[in-house]
Amino acid sequence: MEYKKCLIETDHNGIRLKGRIEYSSKDYSVYLDEPLKAACYGGHLLLMAPVRYVTNLDYPIGTPKGINIESKAQKTLVHLYEKYKDIPYDRYEEEFFQKYRTELLTLAEPLKSFLLERKQLRAKLKAEEITQKEYQGLTTGKRELIKSDVERTITSFISVKEPKFDADNFEKLFQIIRSMIG
């Protein structure tokens, strides 16, 4: 899906908040860029839903079968500012991961199993018990499939526990979970 960017601004208690919406027809995220940096996942529509996300860049307000996300995104900028003005966004992420460490590790169990299996296969490859081609056949694609499954599970978990948490940056979450696994 093609993602578009729409710059947004709003005033809150005399402070100018600047950010952007990154969106496709079925997904969007909101990013606060000034006076601090933060982000959150905005929403998702089922692919079969007969509507799509739009901004004023696409169509005028009120376009049939379009959900204009600009006003909601401006409210989200205010929410992000209020949430992160006293605690930096990066520190919040780390605290979130520590807060739900046990649950995240449980949800990431398939990844842990794959990493252990891959380590054992590398040892077999080094000991020449399997060939490079066999190793690749056993691991190629499997990591991405498992990562995708774990991503969906954890993203759902996060959206229930902390609805405004940035679930977009799964690569960072994936790396932190990997480091927690060991």
Query: pLDDT tens digits for 84-116?
Result: 787 766 676 667 777 777 777 777 778 778 888
For the ranges 28-32, 162-166, 173-177, the lowest mean pLDDT is seen at: 162-166
Q: Residue with structure tokens 């919040």?
A: 92
CA–CA separation, 110 and 132 (whole Å): 24
- pTM for the model: 0.51
CA–CA separation, 128 and 87 (whole Å): 52
Evaluated on CA atoms 120, 148, 22, 96, the torsion sign reads negative
User: By C-alpha distance, which of 143, 152, 144 is closest to 117?
Assistant: 143
The answer, yes or no, to whether residue 13 has pLDDT greater than 80, is yes
pLDDT, tens digit (0-9, with 9 covering 90-100), for 40-80:
767 777 777 777 777 777 765 555 567 777 888 888 889 88
pLDDT of residue 12: 92
Per-chain mean pLDDT for the chain: 77
- Choose between 167 and 118: higher pLDDT: 118
Token pair for 128 = 């020449």
pLDDT of residue 167: 46
pLDDT of residue 153: 74
| Burial class (CB within 10 angstroms; exposed 0-12, middle 13-18, buried 19+) of 135 | middle
pLDDT of residue 1: 62
| DSSP reduced 3-state for 81 | helix
Domain boundaries, the chain: 4-86, 91-181
Residue 34 exposure: Cα atoms within 13 Å on the Cβ side: 9
